[in-house]
Amino acid sequence: MDGVAFVLGLIGGSFANVCIYRLPRQESVVWPGSHCPQCQAPIQWYDNIPLLSFVLLRGRCRRCGAPISWRYPLVELLTGVLFLVSVATFGASLRAVQSMVLGTLLLIVFFVDLDHFIIPNRITYPGIVVGLVFAAVSGGGVDVRHAAVAAVTAIALGGGFILVNLLSIPLLKQEGMGMGDAKLAAMIGAFLGWPIGGVAILLGVFIGGALGVFLLALRIKGRREQIPFGPALAAGAITAMWWGPGLLNWYLSRLVG
């Protein structure tokens, strides 16, 4: 089962690469088929096998010889590991499928925001709906209460980011959080519900803050330079998705003790 999950993850990673490249360019992720971004030559199926084709082609387009970014096999490998860990953590279950779907969406957000400083609505809007559907059927049947908790969590987390943004404009004279971050927080809340959704956001804030301090200390970024927050939220959500309950129990036990 683990091997099947990994292979399916590699295939999912190949599609994630299509989304990462095309969504910021407002292109269809379905048509046309995969092609070289340099010479536009269609990529044949035997040159589009996850990981393997990159190695066999030595990281270059068969037709024009243009280098293929290392990001392509990296995303494929990360998605394969994502699927593998999901099955190892939750077994062959609907919960594992939910983890795979959310993790893939978060990987797309991670790399798109890293490059373009945007979080596509074509990921977050459908993601919120899909997350609520998973919440409704997570118990094997229709669970209205669970879905309602997920919906309230999505509204609360997304609304919290909007509130931070509204307050930061008069106080700091700039946006504190983008609307893309608010929609991403809502998507995370829809998938993870309460309290794990809250754990995900706290982890994301911690990761983003630590990264910001690190970049400032090394003078890689200046105080007024934009640092994408989506990757930190994505990393926090993936961590909470797998280990959130354990982290929450550990923290509460330390707090009580």
pTM flag (> 0.85): yes
State pLDDT tens for residues 75-123: 999 999 999 999 999 999 999 999 999 999 999 999 999 999 999 999 9
Q: Give 49-76 pLDDT, tens digit per residue.
A: 999 999 999 999 998 999 999 999 999 9
Q: Where are the domains of the chain?
A: 1-92, 118-257
What is each CA distance from 56 to 48, 59, 113, 250, in whole angstroms?
11, 8, 30, 46
Cα atoms in the Cβ-side hemisphere of radius 13 Å centred on 201: 26
Which amino acid, residue 218?
L
The neighbour count for residue 125, using CB atoms within 10 Å, is 13
